[in-house]
Amino acid sequence: MEPRNHTRIVEVLLLGLSEDPAVQPLIFMLFFSMYLVTVSGNLLIILAILSDPHLHTPTYFFLTNLSFSDICFTSTTIPKMLVNIRTQSQAISYAGCITQMFFFLLFGSLDDILLAVMAYDRFVAICHALHYTVIMNPHLCVQLVLLCWVISVLHALLNSLLVLRLSFCTHVEIPHFFCELNQVVHRACSDTFLNDLMMYLAAVLLTGGPLAGILYSYSRIISSIRAISSAQGKYKAFSTCASHLSVVSLFYGTGLGVYLSSAVAYNSHSTAIASVMYTVVTPMLNPFIYSLRNNDIQRAMKTHLREICRWPFLSHSPH
């Protein structure tokens, strides 16, 4: 076997969404605005839930974790992209690329599994309403969230370590705005069979598994709702699931849409633009979806905002 002349790369070039200098300021302002909305919206949800004792329930405990995960998920990609646009640089260090990839996989998987856990919570609340507080006790809720974290960390760690074993040529360009696993793997100059196998297994287990759990939970929920005699009872039961169902549809619809379309007609630039939907837009919209039709969240957020406005350095007006 002939030896290959590969050197360990020092940095990776992220080509971003557009290389046109005239478009860069517009992209910067757009993504900076979306990032601020995402962080502030999800942070407000977390603070509102923590500050209101009435919201210290399993449902809102999982929502708090989802909002935290969304903040971290967006923070793994957008700040670096904004820095690169501002400094007119496309470079990210090799170590930084692997780190970004690890945290992107971690919080992406965490979002995925948390949505399945929240579907189970809705299933118990509607199908086993009389035993809800017994089944969804604090001990079980903490265990479920810890399980989500353990699975997500193992998934991210395993894929990142498998990338570290690959050899890359001296010049690596990623036609994306972040170090996306599939893009990085397929820029390697060495055999990627094990990496591809792990990615396919992860797609089946960590996407197909939670999605199957969500579909099963909602099939049971729909059966239970249909058995309710009054129209008002049906509406009340369904309304408790509407927000979660909307977030699930948005998350899986955009994520699966990106990867299925890229598999049919591969276009790196189009895939990068489409990825914005599930990496930026979905985490940004989640707080609006959960607060739009949720009176408890709206009340807690209004109360929290009023408390903020009463802080001395905000309420003080100079004479």
pLDDT of residue 140: 97
Whether residue 195 is contained in a domain is answered as yes
- The count of structural domains within the chain is 1
- Is 94 within a domain? yes
| pLDDT per position as a tens digit, 46-78 | 998 998 888 899 999 999 999 999 999 999 999
Return the structure tokens found at 46.
Answer: 């977390």
Answer for the pair 189, 169: CB distance below 8 angstroms, yes or no: yes
Span 194-206, pLDDT tens digits: 999 999 999 889 8
Host domain of residue 174: 11-315
Q: Decide if 205 is inside a domain.
A: yes
Q: What is the mean pLDDT of residues 10-14?
A: 87
Please state, rounded to an integer, the average pLDDT across all residues of the chain.
Answer: 86
* Residues 163-216: tens digit of each pLDDT: 999 988 777 888 889 999 988 998 888 889 999 999 999 988 988 999 999 999
CATH code of the domain containing 113: 1.20.1070.10
Q: Is residue 240 part of a domain?
A: yes
With a cut of 60, say whether residue 316 has pLDDT above it: no
How far, in Å, are 9, 27, 71, 123 from residue 228 at the CA level? 62, 50, 38, 15
Q: pLDDT of 104-132, one tens digit each? A: 999 999 999 999 999 999 999 999 989 99
Q: Per the domain annotation, does 160 fall within a domain?
A: yes
Residue 164 lies in a domain: yes
The answer to whether position 187 is within a domain reads: yes
Window from 50-64, 84-98, 119-133, 259-273 with minimum mean pLDDT? 259-273
In a domain, 5, yes or no: no
